[in-house]
Amino acid sequence: MEKRNIDIAAIVILLAWGTYGLYYLMSLNTSMQEVVLNRENVEKIYLQISRTPSELTPSTDLDLDVIVRDKERVQAVLDQLSNVKLKKVSNIDNKIKVPYIYTIIIRPKTDQDMLADYSIDILNSNSISIFGSGGRRKNLYQTYTITDGFDYNSFKTSMDILFAK
């Protein structure tokens, strides 16, 4: 009888551990929509987008910033990110080199002195980091590998059009 109780306890522990492991593995996969975009209302935000040259870009290129306040343009930028699928990682793949690193800062329209809601760094065609802050959320910083839904070249082209204006 005592052996049977030990076997049942071992099975319960294994099931609990397996359930937690499955939950953990499933929480590693997410999307830009879940992490950032579902939390923002296009009517109440504007974007500050920065373009920073990487080591592939000549040193004569300067860092550039553009402010996007128009609701349709804000929506167009966010739409490019809405289908991006992500997987949490602890290290970024630095082997993939791109000419620019883009930072998209989501700010509330109500008070320009307020902290940004989110900062999204597009580090290359496979890596994104997200920093979230603001009074209504806890701070977070997470790096992700892009698993699907992101075309870096079309994103870069649309950003370059914004910087050309």
- Return averaged pLDDT per consecutive 10 residues of the chain, 165 residues in all: 73 76 62 67 83 74 80 86 82 75 84 67 86 62 82 86 78
- For the chain, the 3-state helix, strand and coil shares in percent, each to the nearest 5, are 35, 30, 30
Which pLDDT score, from 0 to 100, does residue 124 have? Answer: 84
Separation of alpha carbons 94 and 126, rounded Å: 9
CA–CA dist 6, 12 (Å, integer): 10
> What is residue 135's predicted lDDT score, i.e. its pLDDT?
46
Query: What pLDDT score was predicted for residue 35?
Result: 67
Alpha helices in 28-142 (DSSP H): 32-35, 71-82
Question: What confidence score (pLDDT) does residue 116 get?
Answer: 64
Structure tokens at 15: 């099931």
Answer yes or no: are the C-beta atoms of 133 and 116 closer than 8 Å. Answer: yes
User: Beta strand pairing status for 85-89 and 29-31?
Assistant: antiparallel
For residue 29 the two structure tokens come to 């996969």
Site of tokens 């290129």 = 61
Residue 152 near residue 124 (C-beta atoms within 8 A):
yes
Neighbours of 70 (CB within 10 A): 11
